[in-house]
Amino acid sequence: MNKIEEYFNPEELEQIKVITAKINALTTDLEGKEEEAAIAVAQEITVLKEQLETLRLKAFRREYDKLTEEDQYKWWLNEFENQIKSRTGGEYLYKMFTKEQYSYWVSLDPDFDDLFLQLCLDFDLEYEFAFSLCEHKKGSEMWEHLIEINKD
């Protein structure tokens, strides 16, 4: 049994195969389409990718909910550590905090707010600043302003 089969039931695996095949076919079909038709195909691909993400989140929640509270926190420590490591190329660390990212984190664990404060403390991150960034969309005027004035 390979890794993916550990997390998904047979019905979900079949759905993943069907959706992936559709995405691949549509991606191939996208080439050479006129703009209006290409937009419609791109929108269909987006919907299919959202369906894949829903299946992935469902499987994640099944596995995550089996963990003890301590193991769940260890999972988040690892997640944040990976996020921070991915920012080592000189990109401003706090750019990982966005409304979109925060929504994603909450979709993984509805009680994320409790974890967020502890994670910021563990990683020596300024909680109020990080949370302020999470209230805005990446690239919005206010998000860019907060990033700019806090770069130091």
pLDDT digits (tens, 9 = 90+) for 61-120: 888 888 999 999 998 998 888 888 877 655 677 888 899 989 988 988 888 888 999 999
pLDDT at 99: 92
Q: What is the pTM of this model?
A: 0.69
46-58: average pLDDT: 90
Q: What's the pLDDT band for 19 if we cut at 50, 70, 90?
A: very high
Residue whose entry in the numeric block shows the structure tokens 């195909």: 41
Residue type at 112 in one-letter notation? F
Q: Residue 131: helix, strand or coil by DSSP? A: helix
Average pLDDT, rounded, for the chain: 86
Give rounded-to-5 percent helix, strand, coil for the chain.
75, 0, 25
Instruction: Identify the residue with better confidence: 82 or 152.
Output: 82
Q: Which residue has the tokens 């195969």?
A: 17
- Report percent pLDDT > 90 for the chain: 34
Question: What pLDDT score does 125 carry?
Answer: 87
CA dihedral in degrees (33, 42, 86, 5; nearest 10)? Answer: -110
User: What is the reported pLDDT for 1?
Assistant: 45
